[in-house]
């Protein structure tokens, strides 16, 4: 058996066809492809739909003076369509538009979604949210804020945002999450162990 692949070469994938299956608020592309197998050679042709989401940021807001984190709660259509609780407790987040730097988006979204001014914005990691079917890569940040000013409802109505802001003691994380201890929003989960 060959050693585990650490890097990839575009030659490891042969695209035999591609098309846009849907284009609306988001885009869904369909690929027909073959990829190199761990045992060598190319596998059989497979068809995969890929949700073209673009890149995004997630920002954990922390107040070291109060040992508190600031979180947001908002409606999400995906869980609603799945028959689950649609109001999710999350960290601040937003989509990176072409030409934007993730750091700039993180600072802007913090202001728009919470009304707070981020300080000492630091990149702490990144992840694909659903690599089996989506292109979205989320860059994770942590920023310092003054949690005393956290609260109220924020967001842009024209973007369908109705975002409630709250803070909680980091040492008592359970009030920040759902009763079962879950965050339910992937970018929030890796941030939960930081700082």
Known catalytic residues?
A: 159
Query: Residue 31 and residue 17: Cα distance in Å, rounded?
Result: 6
Query: Residue 142 and residue 28: Cα distance in Å, rounded?
Result: 31
CA atoms within 13 A on the CB side of 124: 21
CA nearest to 63, candidates 114, 6, 28: 114
Distances (CA, A) of 50 to 29, 31, 116, 132: 5, 8, 35, 8
Residue 81 CA from chain centroid, whole number: 19
Tracing tokens 């030409």 back to the chain, one arrives at 99
């Amino acid at each position: 058996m060959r050693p585990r692949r650490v890097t990839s070469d575009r030659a490891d994938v042969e695209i035999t066809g591609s098309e846009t299956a849907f284009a609306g608020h988001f885009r869904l592309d369909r690929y027909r492809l073959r990829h190199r197998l761990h045992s060598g050679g190319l596998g059989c042709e497979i068809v995969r739909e890929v949700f073209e989401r673009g890149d995004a940021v997630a920002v954990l807001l922390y107040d070291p003076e109060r040992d508190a984190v600031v979180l947001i709660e908002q409606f999400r259509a995906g869980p609603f369509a799945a028959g689950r609780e649609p109001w999710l407790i999350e960290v601040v987040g937003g989509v990176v538009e072409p030409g934007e730097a993730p750091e700039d988006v993180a600072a802007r979204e913090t202001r728009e979604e919470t009304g707070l001014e981020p300080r000492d914005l630091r990149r702490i990691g990144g992840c694909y949210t659903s690599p089996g079917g989506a292109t979205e890569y989320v860059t994770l940040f942590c920023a310092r804020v003054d949690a005393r000013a956290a609260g109220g409802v924020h967001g842009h109505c024209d973007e369908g945002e109705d975002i409630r802001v709250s803070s909680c003691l980091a040492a008592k994380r359970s009030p920040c999450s759902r009763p079962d201890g879950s965050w339910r929003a992937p970018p929030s989960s890796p941030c939960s162990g930081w700082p």
